[in-house]
Structure 1
């Protein structure tokens, strides 16, 4: 009986408690039950999920200290999400928890909210949406708090978060206005003051009001309770001072970051030091104290994760101080840290490239620029700028490579037999020594079965775990030997120097630079150790040697032009032209080289050499264009009739006038006359176009392909390559288009004249124009003379909009004019007319047309 009574009482009590916890009744138990349940259950879990999501964001966010940092560490993604998708699962959970708290624990009675935790729920809802980058829904949540919970203790936080959201929506002016009102009328303190001030500072940064942003960041740094935030705000303050050019004030801000020491993240401490180094005054600063700071930063063990940035800044310091060799070493040390900062990698490579460019080492500069682009975002503005810079070096790298290889071969060809024998004997002996060393290392490695694991003590300290203590790799001579063996197998024998991985490293001897390793890799074991094998590979055929010499000479000529015209490196250009003239080049390169040397002597102020060169050109080549220029410089203008550019422009006018045969023959003449000059590629491409217009697709294809191959590194060669890959495939089809009813197409009436005089054709066109004028009230037609081939011309009527109208062309003429146009004609659509002109297949079309 007692048990039954207890159960009954318990059930009654639970029923009464459940009924008293209704969300519809404003009772003490109901209010406190829903408030406590919401706060310590749903909202507690929601805020935990929010913090987990923020932690994930912070871990994945990468600050770019080379630019102005944002106040809030949050990466904005441009990805578009579908409905129901989320960027972070934790934010979805937080939002669901906030929604659950509102749905199950809201007590909205008589127009008022009785649960004091609902403002927290809406704040959580807004924050979850904000960090999930759904800013419009987040703004709705924050506005709802301001609308419904004006007396809430979270009202100031809601206002601050609303303005954060407004800024993300680019409503910076509105955010500034609202935050200024909040700071003026609300008694903010502590973290609320820090959040409002930092948010306002970001809004001012966005609107480029830098001085005010600095002031607000100072307020935020002083008010915040977080040392992490304080270090960030002070660092940004220093960056802003730098933007204003106030380096002393910037250094004071960075000193405050340094003073925080371990209270703030180490990265802020390090980059604050680096910014101070960057602001160093080389004229008035204490270089000894700066050197000590650099050494301390480099040697401090706590700074190891940031050595990439430290090495870079040390390199920049030494570069500004005029110590290029030390700077180069530190830039390479920064790269060898395997940093994940792609911007830093690109910066290191770019500076190294610029250093080599300034020192006229263009091939090496090009390699560094290649590495720079690999660490840039494709098609970004910096990438495009760097690509243009790299493309300017393409020709010089190409011709330097050709000259280097050909010089090597010619050097071996000209080397006496005894010297060849001695050189390759020494090379073979070195190969044998390396092979013996490798075999010894391999045998040692096999005996020790790779990495040896034994119990050992190094420096009195036992390493490893009991029973399996491993030696440190470099303390074991066997494993070191094995590693060296593997390295040589993969990379070959490389000198200890920067950029050792570059394939351009060779073996130098005398005047020839050769790479017998390439030959050795394809040889058998017997051949590898036979000097005669390498000697037999040296070309002996006079035609081959002559071809190599011509290729080398042309490379020298092109390098001389490039250094002179593109890079203004007159000393380098002079060396190339002088080397060319000393190598007995073919006659076509001699005169242009001497003329360019004359101009270089003038530019360098070497008047005596310039006068000697001038007299030699005038005396030896009196009928040349160059002699004419030197004798009568006052007559040489941009419109000089003998200048290649003027000749090309006149010839192009003839091309537009359809004088194709004349253009072809003249192009051949000028190609021979200006051989060796850059404008030859223009004449070649013009000749290909004229040949195509006169002789058809095959001739055009052949000419364009030749330009694409022979002048690949010129603008015309690149244009020809584009034509070959993109245009020719579209023009290749010879199939005529069928006439389809209802399809919009213009038609042409074509009168064909074969072996007729130009005068007769011109007279017929004049008559045709008069006839067409007489029907101009009904039809808008015009005529033209088009070249078909060397023997045939077309007189074409344009403007006929239907096939039927074109085929009855004679009938639309006035009666008095019909007798004037008594020449047979055929009709073709614009598409088919184009095919006829491209492929010169008129007979095929007429056979089809007559059917």
Structure 2
């Protein structure tokens, strides 16, 4: 019994001692302690608890981002996947968990060596959520307070990526320059190269980005990710006009276990390359790929590439035919369509100079092109130019046609209108018959007796046999076709018209006025010769009676002097604008001269006449043709800003000191007249002074004084016009800020009156 008691006491004291030792040991494992035991404990618990879980969740997020990326092979592939907080939405729970678990390391394990890693994970979450300011703060904190050099380097690499995503390239380059001098480990070296290459790619420095990628490839393993980077490197070398290197990288894609899409597009880009080694085998490769059943959904891309090669050879009609086949071969994936439309628009714009057709293709391309495309703004700008061109060209054609109709005898006019109405009625009947056949085919019942089938959804039929309004697939296809042709139009009256308040000013005609010498005969109305096309087609909706159509057509024809005057005003403005578009936007000086000459001959009283003379003088000089337009400008409009510009362009001598003194005295005299309220005399003298003292240091002050006098003598509208002329003629003048203030004040005053 005594022995049992002794053993019990011994066990008790041993247990108590062990417990007390454990308590004392744990008490020494404070997260603020620097003892080896404390740091070892917190390293262990931080790594294999909170940090481990956070890292696993972050790996899941990055795997999701890579596997669910949306590649657009028609554009330059980004080296690093771009940050998009919307695409990260499905992984919000994992991102929240990363922050929660990584924050535990910061809260409970301050002396752990995994603290810097945890902060880097928190910063990456901020980065992926596009919370850039907080991401920058976290990475800077790690760089400042961190203890492990590798973790600090990782933070700086992530900081460089964040700055790049923000578009803050100078700061990103500063970080890159610092990292370039640091001894990086293998993982950080690879990340640094990729991040720096991404930075230069975003800056448009394609050759530099490609060279940095070349230095990265030896450290990468074969696989889908490496194949993707080779594809990006090939595109970069293509952009840098180094086709041989680009071809090498496209071939390297095929050696890195790529996805099928990666291999397919690598082959396409290889064939598009200007490397002469690829040209010989292009045709056989295309034939083989078209026969391959795996490429059934990719035929549109194959025909598109064939079109690119034909366009490069100068075979533009052949290229356009192949582009059309590409569009016809499109299946479920319509991502290729906007780029095909875009290439067709470029050919019609740049090579064939068929601007109306080009405008239609640019319209379709913009309706479907992703707005984040790098060249979206430039395409939008060209589309705006083409819209303006077609608008004014259509006005010129339509007004000329209407005036021609007004000049016809009543019998001849009646014949033209009757023929147009009869033809339109036949077209309406054909459309109604086609609609009836479609309904009969979809419902399986006859509608010839006028029987309708309200409420019939045809749910017992196969989808492709249903009436299209009950078939969601057909509805979606129809919507897409509408967008391709018309763009995103709001649902409103006259939605298909550009000029809503002038329903007849839209289409072309095959009959031109003999007095009109401009190039305005293309695109005529072949269905109803002798009548503007819109007059023949704008009555489809509702199918009005023949009398209603005839009355509407008659109402649009300018029979009276007042109506003809309004028509001429529209012609005057549109011919003037059309000439400027030809000269400045489309770079077609010959068409500009033809249009301006037509304007000068037809509208001798136009307010645009001085500028038209000046532009005719400049454009003919551009073509190397000697004309008398400058002399006519100086003779008929000597006191205009255009006459001064013409004088300045031919004056080679610099004003002397004496001339400067005379100019200054003249300015003082005119200013005295201005202050005394003698505006008319001051304006006349300022006009003469500007012509006499062009090129002097005081010229812009004289021009500003003239602008003020124009406002006093001629009123607000002429004042605003004079301000515009000053800003155009003296863009570098130190007086420009003051003139802009005057313009703002004048605009506000005009707005209040309205």
TM range (shorter): 0.5 to 0.7
Match of 2:234 in 1: 238
Match of 2:464 in 1: 473
Match of 2:535 in 1: 516
Alpha-carbon contact 1:126-1:141 (below 8 Å) kept: yes
State the Cα deviation string for residues 817-849 of structure 1 (Å, max 9, x = none): xxxxxxxxxxxxxxxxxxxxxxxxxxxxxxxxx
Alignment counterpart, residue 249 of structure 2, candidates 253, 257, 264: 253
Unaligned runs of 5+ in 2: 1-10, 30-37, 128-134, 164-171, 446-457, 487-494, 499-504, 513-529, 639-645, 654-662, 690-701, 731-737
Please show how residues 252-401 of structure 1 align to structure 2 within 5 Å: 252-260=248-256, 263-281=257-275, 284-285=276-277, 287=279, 289-294=281-286, 313-328=305-320, 349=342, 352=345, 355-356=348-349, 359-362=352-355, 399-401=392-394
Distance 1:733 1:601 in 2: 43
Instruction: Please identify the structure whose Cα radius of gyration is greater.
Output: 1
Match of 1:199 in 2: 192
CA deviation after TM superposition for structure 1 residue 230, in Å: 1.9
CA deviation after TM superposition for structure 1 residue 320, in Å: 1.8
Q: Secondary structure at the match of 1:525?
A: coil
Match of 2:558 in 1: 539
CA deviation after TM superposition for structure 1 residue 50, in Å: 1.8
Distance 2:198 2:270 in 1: 22
The 1:403/1:303 distance shift into structure 2, 3 A limit, reads same
Indicate whether 1:433 and 2:433 are aligned. Answer: no
CA RMSD of the aligned region, Å?
6.6
Distance 1:722 1:409 in 2: 44
State the Cα deviation string for residues 403-435 of structure 1 (Å, max 9, x = none): 122112123223454543343333323333344
CA deviation after TM superposition for structure 1 residue 316, in Å: 3.5
Q: Secondary structure at the match of 1:412?
A: helix
CA deviation after TM superposition for structure 1 residue 94, in Å: 1.6
The 1:394/1:434 distance shift into structure 2, 3 A limit, reads closer
Match of 1:46 in 2: 54
Distance 1:233 1:240 in 2: 10
Match of 1:461 in 2: none
Q: Secondary structure at the match of 1:264?
A: coil
Query: How high is the TM-score relative to the length of structure 2?
Result: 0.59
Alpha-carbon contact 1:363-1:397 (below 8 Å) kept: yes
Alpha-carbon contact 1:445-1:478 (below 8 Å) kept: no
Q: How many residues align?
A: 613
Distance 1:39 1:595 in 2: 78
CA deviation after TM superposition for structure 1 residue 575, in Å: 3.8
Alpha-carbon contact 2:227-2:258 (below 8 Å) kept: yes
CA deviation after TM superposition for structure 1 residue 145, in Å: 8.4
State the Cα deviation string for residues 714-764 of structure 1 (Å, max 9, x = none): 999xx9999787545469999xxxxxxxxxxxxxxxxxxxxxxxxxxxxxx
The 1:18/1:31 distance shift into structure 2, 3 A limit, reads farther
Please show how residues 413-812 of structure 1 align to structure 2 within 5 Å: 413-440=406-433, 452=443, 470-473=461-464, 506=507, 508-511=509-512, 512=530, 513-517=532-536, 520=539, 525-527=544-546, 531=550, 534-535=553-554, 537-549=556-568, 551-552=570-571, 555-556=574-575, 559-560=578-579, 563=582, 569-576=588-595, 637-638=650-651, 656=671, 658=674, 660-662=679-681, 689-690=708-709, 692-693=711-712, 700-701=715-716, 703-704=718-719, 726-727=745-746, 729=748
Distance 1:143 1:244 in 2: 39
Distance 1:352 1:649 in 2: 55
Unaligned runs of 5+ in 1: 1-8, 79-84, 148-154, 184-191, 455-466, 627-632, 641-647, 671-682, 735-851
Distance 2:634 2:160 in 1: 75
Alpha-carbon contact 2:123-2:139 (below 8 Å) kept: yes
Distance 1:125 1:68 in 2: 33
Alpha-carbon contact 1:444-1:478 (below 8 Å) kept: no
Q: Secondary structure at the match of 1:172?
A: helix
The 1:61/1:453 distance shift into structure 2, 3 A limit, reads farther
Query: How high is the TM-score relative to the length of structure 1?
Result: 0.53
Q: Secondary structure at the match of 2:182?
A: helix
State the Cα deviation string for residues 431-471 of structure 1 (Å, max 9, x = none): 333443455566667778xx6599xxxxxxxxxxxx96642
Distance 1:366 1:406 in 2: 21
Match of 2:126 in 1: 132
The 1:408/1:92 distance shift into structure 2, 3 A limit, reads same
Q: Secondary structure at the match of 1:178?
A: coil
The 1:287/1:655 distance shift into structure 2, 3 A limit, reads farther
Distance 1:346 1:325 in 2: 18
Match of 1:792 in 2: none
CA deviation after TM superposition for structure 1 residue 255, in Å: 0.4
